Amino acid sequence: MTNRKQIAAANWKMNLDLAQANSLLQEIASANLPMQANRIAIFAVPFPYLSIAKNILSSCTNYFIAAQDCSAHKEGAFTGEVSTAMLQSLGVDYVLVGHSERRAYHGENAKLLSEKINRAFEQNIQPIFCCGEPLEIREAGNEKSWVEQQIKEALFHLPEEKMKGFVIAYEPIWAIGTGKTASSDQAQEMHAHIRSVIAQQYGDSTANRISILYGGSVKAANAAEIFEKPDVDGGLVGGASLNAVEFGNIMQGLK
């Protein structure tokens, strides 16, 4: 049995109006599913709902709030950006960095992502670093080297101390909304590779303390099978996290 944190992370993306968000949060809080010991739930809600989520879920044990992104700048004339200092002042615990949609639609590169990670740590916010390969890379058989490069370029400037307890989310982009499915064995293979990449740089002890989440269309129906794999430490959940019962079942699938 691993002592790594087992994490069910909800990524709401750009969904729900205020009334819908409030209703979903109230339903989640009312269920108040117990998250004992090394299990935690994280809710990455849109910026306008961070304070609401923090307030509503504050009575639930091991429930945390995440932002879906942050600025690489500390402060200044950056209209529309949100700094990690702002997030920290709201009591935000985690922040997604490098989600595949940010990379694809906003051209975010490794240099920018490494700066965002630095800003997050400055405010004692834990980054959840997202990585993963598109279909053409998977079909060419280059997925391991692709993900390895993403990790090295964005994370390997960090000292070992920052990597202890770090969170990485692996997103097989080719298996999200395409009709193609990644098997639990494929997930385990990549997660084991990611852990080995971290081990080569920081040692086995640090690598074995990193939580690696799977982000490829996780649903209640497949969560337990995926999560039982030895190097899979939970999931980064998209659409299924917009349903309180569905996400609750995913939370209960954690090992």
Structure tokens at 162: 């920052």
Residue 176 has pLDDT above 70, yes or no: yes
The single residue of 101, 133, 171, 193 carrying the catalytic annotation is 171
Position 182 in a domain: yes
Q: Distance between CA 208 and CA 114 in Å, rounded?
A: 22
Q: Provide the CB-side half-sphere exposure for 107 (13 A, CA).
A: 0
Catalytic residue among 99, 133, 191, 193: 99
Q: Is residue 113 part of a domain?
A: yes
* Model pLDDT, residue 6: 97
pTM check: above 0.75? yes
Task: Provide mean pLDDT across the span 197-205.
Answer: 97
* Domain contains 157: yes
193 carries an active-site annotation: no
Q: Would you place residue 142 in the very low, low, confident or very high pLDDT band (cuts 50, 70, 90)?
A: very high
Q: What angle do CA 151, 117, 195 make, to 5 degrees?
A: 30
Question: Which backbone phi and psi does 138 adopt, to 5 degrees?
Answer: -65, -45
CATH number of the domain within which 169 lies: 3.20.20.70
- Per-residue pLDDT tens digits for 45-104: 999 999 999 999 999 999 999 999 999 999 999 999 999 999 999 999 999 999 999 999
- pLDDT for res 182: 82
Domain assignment present for residue 235? The answer is yes
Counting the structural domains of the chain, the total is 1
List the domain range (segments joined by +) for residue 46.
Answer: 6-252
Q: Give the model's pLDDT for residue 1.
A: 45
Three-state secondary structure string covering 124-186: CCEEEEEECCCHHHHHCCCHHHHHHHHHHHHHCCCCHHHHCCCEEEECCHHHCCCCCCCCHHH
Structural domain includes residue 120: yes
- In this structure, is residue 1 part of a structural domain? no
Answer whether residue 246 is part of any domain. yes
For residue 209, pLDDT over 50 is answered with yes
Are 227 and 6 spatial neighbours (Cβ–Cβ below 8 Å)? yes
Amino acid identity, residue 5? Answer: K
- Is 99 catalytic? The answer is yes
* Inside any domain, residue 38: yes
